[in-house]
Amino acid sequence: MQLTIATWNINSVRLRIDNLARLIAEASPDVIALQEIKCPDEAYPRAAIAALGYPHQYARGMKGYNGVAILSRLPFTATHGLDWCERQDCRHAAVKLAGGIELHNFYVPAGGDRPDPAANDKFAHKLRFLEELAAWSKAERAPRQRRILVGDLNVAPLPNDVWSHKALLDVVCHTPGEVDRLNALQEAESWVDALREFYPPEQKLFTWWSYRAQDWRASDRGRRLDHIWVTPALRGQLRAARVCKDARDWRQPSDHVPVVVTLEV
């Protein structure tokens, strides 16, 4: 069977429930991983999402910030959420899908403005978060394991994952320190970057455009911050991948757009 998975930093699930409906209409994902839902569990719109065809939901939210959720048309058999950097800030949710495929949804800290861990606690937190992810992945590694890691990783690792490699070398999300740590995470479990299996690294590819641009499409100063990775056991099962760029022009858009892959499982 085909399994389509979407990941999206929705930047408030309550505000953008209609945009979620539109993603569902246009991409028909079986499973949707959301980041920055920005609501506590008691305010999470469970019934509205069930009505969109996703009765199986696992959400970890908090007031105002962060928060992740996994929505599914198909049942999942287990759920868990881990804490990182000794904080309870709702940046991870995991489920086990049919066939034993594990799906992990992450929201990596953005890291603030200054890329200096000594002067910026938020950047130090981001670096440490990425280090903990690498250690976790290395410990979890197992041969032939079928796992999927998605989310807003808040790092654009390749030169063509940003509008200007040179201009962003000292900008948070593309600094060598962040890229090195993301690469260490990727190597920990030999994760395959599913999007780059379909869009060659020579090609610019972005999933986020700042709200601050006057005309985001014209200036096109984007970054690829949202990722879908699969373990080597699933590489041969990848069938399609795409970035829903048009979502950036939907009414009251998120600054991130959905990323979607289809696997044969």
**Helix %, strand %, coil % of the chain (to 5):** 30, 25, 45
Q: Which stretch binds DNA (CB under 7 A): 7-15, 22-30, 177-185, 186-194?
A: 7-15
Is 167 an interacting residue with respect to DNA (CB under 7 A)?
no
Q: Determine contact, residues 189/231, Cβ cutoff 8 Å.
A: yes
Q: Minimum distance from CB of 27 to DNA (Å)?
A: 21
Q: Minimum distance from CB of 154 to DNA (Å)?
A: 7
Q: Minimum distance from CB of 108 to DNA (Å)?
A: 9
Q: Which stretch binds DNA (CB under 7 A): 35-43, 143-151, 176-184, 199-207?
A: 35-43
Is 64 an interacting residue with respect to DNA (CB under 7 A)?
yes
- Choosing from 75, 141, 252, 264, the residue that interacts with DNA (CB under 7 A) is 252
- Choosing from 56, 73, 122, 245, the residue that interacts with DNA (CB under 7 A) is 122
> How distant is the alpha carbon of residue 248 from its chain centre?
16
* Residue whose CB is less far from DNA, 144 or 251: 251
Q: Minimum distance from CB of 229 to DNA (Å)?
A: 20
Neighbours of 228 (CB within 10 A): 24
Neighbours of 20 (CB within 10 A): 23
Q: Which stretch binds DNA (CB under 7 A): 64-72, 177-185, 195-203, 231-239?
A: 64-72
Q: Which stretch binds DNA (CB under 7 A): 47-55, 72-80, 103-111, 231-239?
A: 103-111
Q: Determine contact, residues 66/38, Cβ cutoff 8 Å.
A: yes
Interatomic CA distance for residues 173 and 165, integer angstroms: 11
Strand 68-72: give its sheet, edge to edge.
56-60, 68-72, 31-35, 2-9, 259-264, 238-243
- Choosing from 4, 82, 112, 117, the residue that interacts with DNA (CB under 7 A) is 112
Write the single-letter amino acid at 187.
E
